[in-house]
Structure 1
Amino acid sequence: MSYRPLEKSESKIEKAVQGIQEHKSGLFKLIISVFYLVGIIGMSFPVLKPYFQALTPFHLLLSLGILLLFHSDWNRYFMGFSISAYLIGFGSEVLGVHTGFPFGNYEYGSVLGIKLLDVPLMIGVNWLLLVYLTGNLFEKRVDNDFLAAALGAGLMVIIDFIIEPVAIGLEFWSWEGEIIPLSNYMGWFVVAYFIHLIYRRAMFEKKNLISGFLLLNLIIFFAVLNFIL
């Protein structure tokens, strides 16, 4: 009996948060669209480009922040997934930079901010963001965890294919011999597939009102910059 008031209180809080999310989703969709449009414009003009390059880490953090604002189930499984996605993604990049496995031979520039072991800390954020966005897309559409993980990882490879020329042009990273190897995309698929399986098996509510819209804007952003840069 002593737990009922607490349970009712938590239920009211959850409903309040859900209500805010539903009413504010339109506003944040507008913010996302403006944010990415301004980014495209800023990257398009040589005089503004260096300033917008420097803002790239904040761009990633803001995108993740908005995504998490609309995440509702902050249980230990979600925290476990988030930490795992960050560490596995970051760790694979450290391995890649120092050994060439599993992505190929490359190195990071200074644009993405503070580095640890020659890899920007923001790279782990990038892995977490992309796995959440692509995983969320197939969450209700595909029942089989292994198929969903493969589809999510496949979509991440497509996104990486779009991102690569832009990232090189903006000096995020550079490849040995200026050639993007096939191993990059194969490595991306394998690492992404493993993290996607963790996402699928983690027991937390995955509904997110802003995820699909944010993913669409991210893809359009890099696709447009492919033609501009």
Structure 2
Amino acid sequence: MFAFGQNSKRFSAQPQFCMKDKKVALAVFVLVVFHIVGFYGLAFSANPAWFRELSALNLLLTNFLLFSFHKTWNIAFAVFAVIVLLVGFFSEVIGVHTGLLFGDYDYGQGLGYKLWEIPLIIALNWLLLVYSTGILVQKLSWHWLLKAFAAAALMVLLDMLIEPVTAVLDYWTWADYRIPVSNYLGWLGVAFVLHLLFQKSRFQKQNALAPFVLGVQFLFFIGLNLVL
């Protein structure tokens, strides 16, 4: 009887595992298809401006897919998310209007509706990057301070791929089309502070889609750097 009960548990858990696996696979498929379409449209289509206008929609979809796999919707996560959204947005406000933090740059029209000259979607991009890089480094058996720094450095690495194509995509443009070192130092500093918050916030830091979101982002911008 005991053995039968154990087997029943094992077999009943199997469909749940398969269903979860299928959901991840479907989400990855949708993610990849949308980025392939966006990549083709921006790099090879006769009307790249039309595809640029869909950039914000693509980012919204990516966030929706990513957070549909988030496990703990509690007050701690809500506080974390709101702080990242606000810090990300207002760091851009400071950056654009003063030149502090990142350097001298201005946003174009490629990321949609703006408030105080900053696309609102950029706050969601900060949340996506902090969250997904934070999830990724959780697998490391390091001190939480080192995890925070590693995740921030990973964000800077991705930014190094994004920056060279932003002017072409009309996302943002640097003064004299030169990317200053202060941009990467500013990214590292702001990202590190937000990752300290991530590490100390009490919510479950597991998300099956996060590594795929980061992987697609890296491949997308590596590809754009090669063809634009």
Sort the Cα spacing of 1:199 and 1:18 in 2 relative to 1 into closer, same or farther, 3 A: farther
Asked if structure 2 preserves the Cα contact closer than 8 Å seen for 1:22 and 1:209, the reply is no
In 1, the alpha carbon distance for the partners of 2:185 and 2:156 equals 8
In 2, the alpha carbon distance for the partners of 1:105 and 1:214 equals 29
Structure 2 length-normalised TM: 0.90
In structure 2, give the amino acid aligned to 1:114. Y
In structure 1, give the amino acid aligned to 2:52. Q
Aligned-residue offset at 1:19? 7.6
In structure 2, give the amino acid aligned to 1:108. Y
Partner of 2:136: 137
Sort the Cα spacing of 1:215 and 1:74 in 2 relative to 1 into closer, same or farther, 3 A: same
Sort the Cα spacing of 1:27 and 1:95 in 2 relative to 1 into closer, same or farther, 3 A: same
Bigger drift between 179-188 and 162-171 goes to 162-171
In 1, the alpha carbon distance for the partners of 2:103 and 2:156 equals 15
Partner of 1:3: none
Corresponding residue SS for 1:223: helix
Asked if structure 2 preserves the Cα contact closer than 8 Å seen for 1:113 and 1:122, the reply is yes
Q: Quick check: which has more Rg, 1 or 2?
A: 2
Bigger drift between 111-120 and 21-30 goes to 21-30
Structure 1 length-normalised TM: 0.89
In 2, the alpha carbon distance for the partners of 1:182 and 1:34 equals 34
Aligned-residue offset at 1:21? 3.8
The answer as to 2:72 corresponding to 1:73 is yes
Aligned-residue offset at 1:167? 1.4
In 2, the alpha carbon distance for the partners of 1:178 and 1:59 equals 26
Partner of 2:99: 100
Corresponding residue SS for 1:90: helix
Q: Which runs of 4+ in 1 moved over 3 A?
A: 16-23
Corresponding residue SS for 2:122: helix
Matches within 5 A, 1:206-225: 206-225=205-224
Matches within 5 A, 1:56-71: 56-71=55-70
Aligned-residue offset at 1:140? 2.4
Aligned-residue offset at 1:227? 0.8
Corresponding residue SS for 2:219: helix
In 1, the alpha carbon distance for the partners of 2:41 and 2:29 equals 18
Partner of 1:155: 154
% identity of equivalent residues: 42
The answer as to 2:79 corresponding to 1:111 is no
In 1, the alpha carbon distance for the partners of 2:112 and 2:165 equals 17
Partner of 1:26: 25
In 2, the alpha carbon distance for the partners of 1:142 and 1:222 equals 29
Count residues with an aligned counterpart.
Answer: 214
Aligned-residue offset at 1:23? 3.3
Aligned CA-pair RMSD = 1.6
In 1, the alpha carbon distance for the partners of 2:150 and 2:218 equals 16
Corresponding residue SS for 2:173: strand
In 2, the alpha carbon distance for the partners of 1:55 and 1:79 equals 27
